[in-house]
Chains A and B, each alone.
Chain A
Amino acid sequence: MFGRKVQQDKVPSNAEVNTIIGEACQIEGNFKLGAGTTRLEGTINGDISGDASLIVGKDGRVYGNINVEHLFVYGHVKGNIKARTVELYNGSVVEGDITVEVLFIEKGSIFNGQSVMKRGTEAP
């Protein structure tokens, strides 16, 4: 519990974007996030993991499981999601289960799956 709290401070949800996976980029295989925030505008066929933030842009596509600290979705995710915070915005599509501590879903988001709320840490 304490460890996670310390980690939460180390990984802010508003860290600068230092990785862009551009439009029409396609990654086949698992992807490990670097420090800061990664913005995905292309497609990843594989799992994504890392103690960092991920923004899935409008044209971003993920076919695989996601296990990150913070996830912001504007595009499509097909797979299970495990994160501390997940925010789904208008136009986003998620097909899969979400295990999360803090969940935000904007009007116009599509979420098909099961959500499991983890408890034990305070909201950010």
Chain B
Amino acid sequence: MKDRITISIVWHDHRKPILFSVRVSALKKLALFLSFLAFAWFLLQLWSLWNFMEKRKLLAEREEVNQKVNHLNIERLRLEEDREKINNSKEKLKELTSRIQAIEEYLRKRGIKLENKGSVGGATYTPTNDAEHLSFLIQRSDVLYNSLRTLPTGYPLEGKLTSSYGWRKNPFGKGYEFHTGMDIEAPAGSPVKATADGIVIHTGRLHLYGETVIIAHASGYKTLYAHLSRIEVKEGDRVLAGQIIGRVGSTGRSTGPHLHYEVIKDEKAVNPEEFVFWR
């Protein structure tokens, strides 16, 4: 009896009062249970709140990841495009290599001595990557350019071609003679230009040639310019292709102002037209 309490609900209207007695300990247990429930509910709320926040965070992260994926996809497409371009470039690189090889081959056939530290496509040198390959090709093309500059090319003078290399009638008398160069007619004083880079090895009177300049080229060729009225370089000078070395004249065994131009290989005159007209 002592540990019990009565709880009554008394209506103010027609309904009869509701009375019930419970054990205090049971009530305490109930209270404990209820508070536990309340606590559990509170935890649940907390958990769902946390869940909610987490979900929001995850959604945001997913959004971010999606964006990143999109970016990466775009990046990938771009990279694929780039790769295609690179593949194209590789093709071009191969073509370039074969062209340079062809040029080298041609120059070699023409008797040009190229610097031989690893010619293109040679077994002595294998590029390990494209960049290296490319810089190698650039270096080779430099070598080719410099070699080409040492190869007699084109006219030393603008004018009329009056006599070619080969047998011809003697212009001073009867009979035939072998003409060792080509004659280009031009007014006296017209500038005569070196046909390739080289070093002046002779200036001055040379028998029938009159005032003459001889230039030695790294390609192994020598060029000779004869019958000059004036010489504008000195022996030992380093001259560049296109540089004026003298003026047209009629010194030596000459019938009028013209230039006698010779290309010499291995101390023998060769047909200079082969260097004037490329075939």
Contacts and interface: CB of A to CB of B under 8 A. Distances in A.
Contacts of B25: none
A83 to B, nearest CB: 16
A78 B24 CA distance: 42
A55 B16 contact: no
B11 to A, nearest CB: 8
Nearest to A13: B12
Interface string A27-59: 000000000010101000000000000010111
Contact of B10 (A17, A72, A90): A17
B2 interface: no
Contacts of B16: 23, 41, 57-59
B279 interface: no
B12 A89 contact: no
Say what secondary structure dominates the interface of chain A.
Answer: loop
A17 B11 CA distance: 8
A75 to B, nearest CB: 9
A14 B12 contact: yes
Contacts of A22: 17
Contact-residue bracket for chain B = under 10
Contacts of B129: none
Contact of A41 (B12, B13, B17): B17
A113 interface: no
B10 A39 contact: yes
A20 B14 contact: no
Given A39-B17, A41-B17, A20 B8 contact: yes
Interface in B78-119: none
B5 to A, nearest CB: 15
A89 B13 CA distance: 9
Interface string A51-76: 00001011100000000000010100
A74 B14 contact: yes
Interface string A10-29: 00001001001011000000
Nearest to A90: B14
A4 to B, nearest CB: 24
A89 B14 contact: yes
Nearest to A18: B10
A77 B37 CA distance: 49
A14 to B, nearest CB: 7
Contacts of A59: 16
A89 B11 CA distance: 14
Nearest to A16: B10
Contacts of B17: 17, 20, 22, 39, 41
Contacts of A37: 12
Interface of A: 14, 17, 20, 22-23, 37, 39, 41, 55, 57-59, 72, 74, 89-91
21 contacts: A14-B12, A17-B12, A17-B17, A20-B8, A20-B10, A22-B17, A23-B16, A39-B17, A41-B16, A41-B17, A55-B12, A57-B14, A57-B16, A58-B14, A59-B16, A72-B12, A74-B13, A74-B14, A89-B13, A90-B14, A91-B14
